[in-house]
Amino acid sequence: MKDSLLSIRSVTKSFDEVDALQGIDLEIRSGEIVGLVGSNGAGKTTLLRLMAGVYKPTNGSVVLSNGHPVSQMRQELGVVPESTGLYSRLTAWENIRYHSRMHGIEDSVAWARTERFAEHLDMKENLGRHTKGFSRGMKQKTALLRALAHGPSILLLDEPTAGLDITSARTVRALVGQLRDEGGTVIYSTHHLAEAQQVCDRIVIIHNGLIRADGSPDELLEKTGTESLEEAYVSLTLEQARVRHEDTEKEGLLSTWWRKLFTPNTPKSTFGGGEDE
């Protein structure tokens, strides 16, 4: 049995009157890729944010192997959110270096790790370019390099291949597999069953805030008596998926003030979204 790195114990998360997660128990062990699979609104993103310490559970606990809450030990985590959140006026390396310095990592150490993984992602020649002109795939690769530069114990990926072309998606999946082969631990959120089966050692099916199954692809097939993961998923999630409620947590007063202070007023007639900043 591999060592446990992260324990989620009897966790619920509520937003107003909506229970986004209900009684979640999950152990994340070292050296495995765990797929979180579910439809939009299932609770995947809420669970990832709890693991990252962005949310606090309404009930229960999310703790690392040393017993500390993840909110106090974020340096152990590398996070690639669905929105990359890059500073478009900085180069790829400057984005990565800024993030690494926040973790107290020396530039030489961060650069060595970045250079190594950039080779695998075919990004080495682009590290000195400003991210403003990057494609979706290049932004995603930069965000992945940023998450790895401080040497995290656990990597959290939220829909890491969403919007990527076939080649970029294959490259990202290959790097995830390499990290696992080197003893890394990855939480891989996706709503694509085929991708989860291809990448993940374990698949955790989440539906309407509940864990419906947790096991290897073969174990899920055996449990449901089905011949494909799609059939297994359908048999475990027969009731209609609920409306998504994962982003409705109220913003704090300090956060509201800070956002208003640094967000310029923009005419409502302006359209055509800007770059990540």
3-state percent helix, strand, coil for the chain, nearest multiple of 5: 40, 25, 40
Please provide the DSSP assignment of 3-14 as one string. Answer: PEEEEEEEEEEE
Q: Which domains are delineated in the chain? A: 4-262 (3.40.50.300)
- How many C-beta atoms lie closer than 10 Å to residue 163's C-beta? 13
Contact 156, 48 (CB under 8 A): yes
Q: Which residues of the chain have pLDDT under 70?
A: 1, 240-277
Give the pLDDT of residue 250: 55
Q: What is the pTM of this model?
A: 0.81
Nearest to 160 by CA among 148, 176, 149, 179: 176
Q: Which uninterrupted H or E stretch holds 273?
A: none
pLDDT in tens, 188-223: 999 888 899 999 999 999 999 999 999 999 999 999
* Bridging pattern class, strands 77-80 and 33-37: unpaired
Give the pLDDT of residue 274: 43
Contact 36, 47 (CB under 8 A): yes
Contact 132, 276 (CB under 8 A): no
**Length of the chain as a residue count:** 277
Give the pLDDT of residue 269: 35
